Structure 1
Amino acid sequence: MSEIGQHSSMTDGDVYGKRRILTERADMFLGYSIYRALVKSIIFRFVIISEKVAKGPARLLIRQAVLQLMTAMLAVIALGACASNEYMGISLKPGRADPQLQELVRRAQAGDKRAQLELGIRYEEGDAVPVDLRRARKLYVLAVADEKRVVWVYSPPTTRASKGYVIPVVVGLEKPGLKDARERLQAIDNRRVR
């Protein structure tokens, strides 16, 4: 029996399963391999330590504390990754690019379809940015996509024998994609085919 099995009722398979589940959750949140490797090793060590050290109610408290700590770490790392200083190859740091271009990029990053189209046109034509049809196409795809906000609502069971359901509910008005962007996207795709 393993060292963990001697101190608790958990088997090596249970610890490995917990580690696998926790690292899969970490992978969902993290995009950087360095952070991913660091968080995986920390998670595995916390799970092993919590199983070795405590017994009974104290084990549950340690597990809860460890999960809260890991959640906080993941949130900090994920938020740090979200605060990008660049979008579509254009720096958002003050003084690194034309202020009007930076404002256009910020609007495009925030989901403004008209700004996505304008930035795509700039990339297609090489206006204040280098010609890059791949980035132009990505921006056109974003500008073409219909946008609707969906909220998932839990509907509890109505009787003891029934189950609850999660129902998608569309909130607000649907924003249709831009026709101009669709035409430009088709033109780029036609160029690629030839």
Structure 2
Amino acid sequence: MARIPYASPDAVKDDALIDRVKAQRGEVLHLYAMLLHSEDITDGWLKLFTAVRQKGTLPGDIRELVIMQVALINGAPYEAQQHRPIALKEGLTEAQVDDLADWQNSDAYGPKERAVLAYCDQMTRKVHVDDDVFAEMRQHFTEKLILELTVTIAGYNMVSRVLEALHIDAGDDRGGWV
């Protein structure tokens, strides 16, 4: 159960913001029901993650691979539950999703995915990325894609930290949001 109640639909003044959340996410998900305590933060969050997920050029399978890895490393089950079906739709295999905890010993990943996972692991676990890990990852991506990959990893680390600090759970009653 969430540590603070979800925002009340009656307390949100900006109906256009709610409409944008629904249009871009399909519904007011638990995360957004919490974020709506601050309409300005919700607006910025929605813009950032819409850019990351829908407007960038990073391939969907790579984007979802790092989102799933961040969720695993950070112990964020809500994030993983929300993104597993998206990851599979974007082209990850069941084996790739299931083997993330031990990706170094799995045959499910090619050189590009291994470079991305090493980069994601270092960004998430220790913030600083070793030069050799960056150099390996750089062999597979342009500067624009490196930036998009980096922002995706950083952004989803923020997502998992908000989810886990506030105990946001998909089983919670969202307080009237539909």
TM-score (norm 2): 0.24
Larger strand proportion of the pair: 1
Larger helix proportion of the pair: 2
Answer 1 or 2: higher relative contact order, Cα 8 Å, separation at least 6: 2
TM-score (norm 1): 0.23
**Which structure has the bigger radius of gyration?**
1
